[in-house]
Chain A
Amino acid sequence: MLLRLAWATLTRHRSRTLLAILGVAVSAAMLLDMVMLSSGMRASFRTLLLSRGFQLRLAPKGTLPFDTDATIPDASGVMRVLRTIPGVTTVSPVLGGQLHIVRGARTIAATALGVDPAVQGDYEITQGRAPASPLELVASDDFLRASGARIGDTLSAASGYDAQLRSFSGQRVLTIVGRAHFLYMPAEQRAVAIPLATLQQMQPGPATQNRDHVSLFMVKAREGEPVDSVLRRIETALPRVSAISTETAMRQVDERLSYFRQLALILGAVSLAVGFLLVTTLVTVSVNERLGEIVVMRAIGVARGRIVLQIVIEGIAIMVSGALGGLGLGLVTARYLNSILASFPGLPAAIDFFLFEPHDAWFALGLLTVAGILAGIYPSWRGASLPIAVTLREEAVG
């Protein structure tokens, strides 16, 4: 009967109920987006870092990977040492650099990665194959689009270019063998990957110079091996490198994202407050216009608690339907906002700002339901506590 009465009351004012549900849905969507935003970047950074299974990254002492142009010298030596460390299963060297590609009269600059194609963790081949010989490369969508080149084409590439003299240094003729998606680069980055040794040898400088260096090593630890102990072994064996675990990297990400999360928290709280006020207003209005009914129910013997419960159920029904609607709305807006933010300069394309986790959705829904209960309690209790005789008289007059 209680539910019947609550339902009957809500459906009696259909358009008002729908508007309230819509309002709650909007604020729920906002709340959900903010909850998704506050954890999304973090979670997606983590997924990205672990996407190819490398839990450790080694950078020149005192730097973060690719933070500076500094490189680790004697790369083969370091590699040999790494392979002897217990718990290390895979070592993937990476050298970052620039290449100038000559296409007819134009020169296109591209970010180049020198990698070991057999163990690399920087890209995924989407078409064609991986480089199998020193003069083969894979390229990003954007590079292929900008250069007009296709798989199978050959390109003239140089590591150094003097615009005034139009002279190139470290020039090679390379064949495109595949199209690749570069995990850690922004979507519109022109990027190519070539075998490490080729990129090292293309570096400008006198022929006698030692070119055996890399920007970074990525390391996989054996399954079941505590990553931290492998990290300590590496740092002991190689005092000239900084080893960074995913956890450390995440802490750094956290620090950089803390403003973001605070913003999300505040905006989330605001949308929760808006939803709360909306339902409180609605319940208050509905209680006030039903004072006669409420007081008559009391007169004919309906317990105060039951009247409060009925009105609270109405509040919860609005909150929950609004929240469910908001769930859908929130996911749609999150996807849209994500597509806007995906072109945020300098961020890997794979980073999602909004991440849907069912746990978060339940959290937001739960918060809203609690808000719905609270929003209903005060006005309904006040309505159900009015003196019966006096209120009846006032209602009869009004």
Chain B
Amino acid sequence: MSDVVMKASDLRREYHMGGELVRAVRGVTLEIARGDYVAIVGPSGCGKSTLLNLLGGIDRPTTGSVTIEGSRIDQLSDAAATRFRLHHIGFVFQRFYLMPALTAIENIELPMAEAKIPRDKRVRRGRELLAYVGLEARYGHRPAQLSGGEQQRVAIARALANKPQLLLADEPTGELDAKTGTEMIELLAQVNRDGTTIVVVTHDEDLAGAAHRVVHMRDGVVVDDRRQR
């Protein structure tokens, strides 16, 4: 695995809180290979989410750089970064964050519509993705009519809609019970086997155990980085 999808160099992210300086990420260098499945773990407050946000281009580093598929996303304009995320990065959040007003399939169509994919194609791919995550029968349901696990499956389908190279997930099993959590872990492993590079931040040992590589963080830096399969 030598093909690098993403490269972060000496990433730092500082927050000013009143007069206080919070160093959330203090010098992280990381390379992620195409097709890899990486879990970022560590104690609460060590900077995992902050790092993931920097890697996904929804936050900007104080210093350092993030290169994805050859693009310095930390230097892109807001509009260009948004466009980049649309086509190259899929996000999954702890709290699912589906559009409550839209049905399951419409939620999946949303990023495709933004990418100007014609309606018939969107619907076809939306159905395929719903089948892929095991929810083909629920396409017309709104998030409020779905269980947490089902919502998270729709969120994964949405993240995959535009066939991104990278899937970033922050505590994707955080709000799920053990059983649905296990199903989620299996689904993510399936997504990875089907070719998507995954970086997941988690406290869930089972989820971390399913990854190929585990990055340990403490106090904003990487303290351990090992490959487990």
Interface residues of A (CB under 8 A from B): 1-2, 4-5, 8-9, 11-12, 292-293, 296-304, 306, 387-390, 392-393, 396
Q: Let me know if A12 and B101 touch, CB within 8 A.
A: yes
A9 to B106 alpha-carbon distance, docked (Å): 13
Known: A301-B85, A304-B79, A396-B94. Contact between A293 and B111, CB under 8 A? no
B83 interfacial by beta-carbon distance below 8 Å: yes
Known: A299-B91, A300-B110, A392-B93. Contact between A8 and B101, CB under 8 A? yes
A1 to B159 alpha-carbon distance, docked (Å): 17
A191 to B53 alpha-carbon distance, docked (Å): 87
Q: Let me know if B111 and A5 touch, CB within 8 A.
A: no
Q: Let me know if A304 and B97 touch, CB within 8 A.
A: no
Known: A296-B93, A393-B49. Contact between A301 and B82, CB under 8 A? yes
Q: Let me know if B59 and A388 touch, CB within 8 A.
A: yes
A362 to B106 alpha-carbon distance, docked (Å): 36
B176 interfacial by beta-carbon distance below 8 Å: no
A296 to B85 alpha-carbon distance, docked (Å): 12
Chain B contact residues: over half helix, strand or loop, or mixed? helix
* CB-based nearest B residue for A387: B59
Minimum Cβ distance to chain B for residue A287 (Å): 14
Which listed residue, A5, A296, A389, A390, touches B97 by the CB 8 Å rule? A296
Q: Let me know if B59 and A303 touch, CB within 8 A.
A: no
Point out the residues of chain A lying under 8 angstroms from B100, CB to CB.
Answer: 12, 293
B86 interfacial by beta-carbon distance below 8 Å: yes
A239 to B203 alpha-carbon distance, docked (Å): 105
Q: Let me know if A4 and B102 touch, CB within 8 A.
A: yes
Q: Let me know if B102 and A303 touch, CB within 8 A.
A: no
Q: Let me know if B59 and A301 touch, CB within 8 A.
A: no
Q: Let me know if A9 and B101 touch, CB within 8 A.
A: yes
B114 interfacial by beta-carbon distance below 8 Å: yes
Known: A4-B106, A297-B110. Contact between A303 and B93, CB under 8 A? no
Within 8 A of A (CB), among B165-218: none
* CB-based nearest B residue for A301: B86
* CB-based nearest A residue for B101: A8
Q: Let me know if A304 and B59 touch, CB within 8 A.
A: no
| With A300-B86, A303-B82, A304-B79 already in contact, 11 other A-B pairs whose C-beta atoms are closer than 8 Å | A5-B99, A5-B110, A8-B102, A11-B101, A300-B158, A301-B86, A301-B87, A301-B162, A303-B114, A392-B53, A392-B93
Q: Let me know if A389 and B82 touch, CB within 8 A.
A: no
Known: A293-B97, A300-B111, A304-B79. Contact between A388 and B102, CB under 8 A? no
Point out the residues of chain B lying under 8 angstroms from A301, CB to CB.
Answer: 82-87, 89, 111, 114-115, 162
B34 interfacial by beta-carbon distance below 8 Å: no
Within 8 A of A (CB), among B30-49: 49
Point out the residues of chain A lying under 8 angstroms from B97, CB to CB.
Answer: 292-293, 296
Which listed residue, A9, A11, A12, A389, touches B59 by the CB 8 Å rule? A389
* CB-based nearest B residue for A385: B78
Point out the residues of chain B lying under 8 angstroms from A9, CB to CB.
Answer: 101
Pick the most buried of A4, A9, A11: most chain B CB atoms within 10 A of its CB.
A4
Minimum Cβ distance to chain A for residue B119 (Å): 8
B109 interfacial by beta-carbon distance below 8 Å: yes
User: Could you list some 25 contacts between A and B, CB below 8 A?
Assistant: A1-B110, A2-B113, A4-B106, A5-B99, A8-B99, A8-B106, A9-B101, A12-B100, A12-B101, A292-B97, A296-B93, A296-B97, A298-B82, A299-B56, A299-B91, A300-B111, A301-B114, A301-B115, A301-B162, A302-B110, A302-B114, A306-B114, A388-B58, A388-B59, A396-B94
A392 to B171 alpha-carbon distance, docked (Å): 14
Q: Let me know if B101 and A299 touch, CB within 8 A.
A: no
Interface mask (B52-89 → A, CB under 8 Å = 1, otherwise 0): 01001011000000000000000000110011111101
Q: Let me know if A302 and B111 touch, CB within 8 A.
A: yes
Minimum Cβ distance to chain A for residue B136 (Å): 21
B163 interfacial by beta-carbon distance below 8 Å: no
A11 to B115 alpha-carbon distance, docked (Å): 26
Minimum Cβ distance to chain B for residue A290 (Å): 9
Which listed residue, B49, B91, B94, B101, touches A300 by the CB 8 Å rule? B91
A239 to B159 alpha-carbon distance, docked (Å): 91
B95 interfacial by beta-carbon distance below 8 Å: yes
A396 to B93 alpha-carbon distance, docked (Å): 10
